[in-house]
Amino acid sequence: MPEHTPAPTPGRAIYGFVLYLLFKTLFFLYIMWAFVPTVWFDRLGLTYLPDKYFALFVPILALVAVTLFAFLIYPSMALSMMPDVDDRVTIADGNTIVRCEFRFPDGLCCQQRVEAPFECGWNVKRHCTKHSSRQGAETQRTVRVANFCDCPYEGQCLLRKDPDYLPTLRSKDPIPAVSDLSLSQVSRTLYHRAGR
């Protein structure tokens, strides 16, 4: 069975060329019908052609239909598919990250991601699966996740591959604050080698 592909094929080339010739011919006949006087067609025996009024009416009708669709119907369809203003999905969806609000005795927060936080409507789960059950504070303290990241692709997450990566970043010099560069310094850096 041949695979369906949008690539050009000989059959499509032939059909495309035939359609090109057909529409060029139809356009030429339309222009001829619109501009040649009706008397000339009557002399040739072509008395059944539509009135010249339709030469302007049909294109104007098509433009009005396109304008109505573009500025009225299409936006109305888009608005009808949108959720209500007071619906939760206007500010949160399935990709929203909600953090566990559990606090350890030393004041630190869990910061574990809450899976499926929205049960129904605006009700949000406040704790992760480890802290949602009522356990003692000491047993909950042992399950805290220190290096949690929000990477959507777990296979590419550097923290999951190397959990000791984060402390090494903190020990390095931080990125300097944004500041303006002097034009003379930029020119010296860019053009110093070019002058040699």
Domain contains 183: no
Domain contains 118: yes
Are 62 and 97 within one domain?
A: no
End-to-end CA distance of the chain: 65
pLDDT in tens, 144-176: 334 455 566 666 666 666 666 656 655 555 566
Are 73 and 88 within one domain?
A: no
Are 60 and 96 within one domain?
A: no
Are 17 and 74 within one domain?
A: yes
pLDDT in tens, 87-124: 767 777 667 777 777 777 777 777 777 776 666 555 66
Domain contains 46: yes
CB 102 within 8 A of CB 131: yes
Per-residue pLDDT, 141: 37
The CA distance from 71 to 64, in Å, is 10
Scanning the chain, the segments in alpha helix (DSSP H) are 10-35, 38-43, 53-68, 74-81, 137-141, 158-161, 165-171, 183-191
Per-residue pLDDT, 176: 60
Provide the number of structural domains found in the chain: 2
Q: Select from 137, 152, 182 the last residue of a domain.
A: 137
Say yes or no to pLDDT of 1 above 70: no
Picking from 158, 151, 156, 146, the residue whose alpha carbon sits closest to that of residue 95 is 151
pLDDT in tens, 14-64: 999 999 999 999 999 999 999 999 999 999 998 888 999 999 999 999 999
Say yes or no to pLDDT of 135 above 50: no
DSSP structural state of residue 18: H
Domain contains 193: no
Q: Which of 19-33, 58-72, 178-192 has the lowest mean pLDDT?
A: 178-192
Are 67 and 103 within one domain?
A: no
Q: What percent of the chain has pLDDT over 70?
A: 65
Picking from 147, 148, 141, the residue whose alpha carbon sits closest to that of residue 108 is 141
Flag whether the pTM goes above 0.85.
no
Are 54 and 89 within one domain?
A: no
Q: Which domain holds residue 20?
A: 11-81
Per-residue pLDDT, 194: 53
Are 97 and 63 within one domain?
A: no
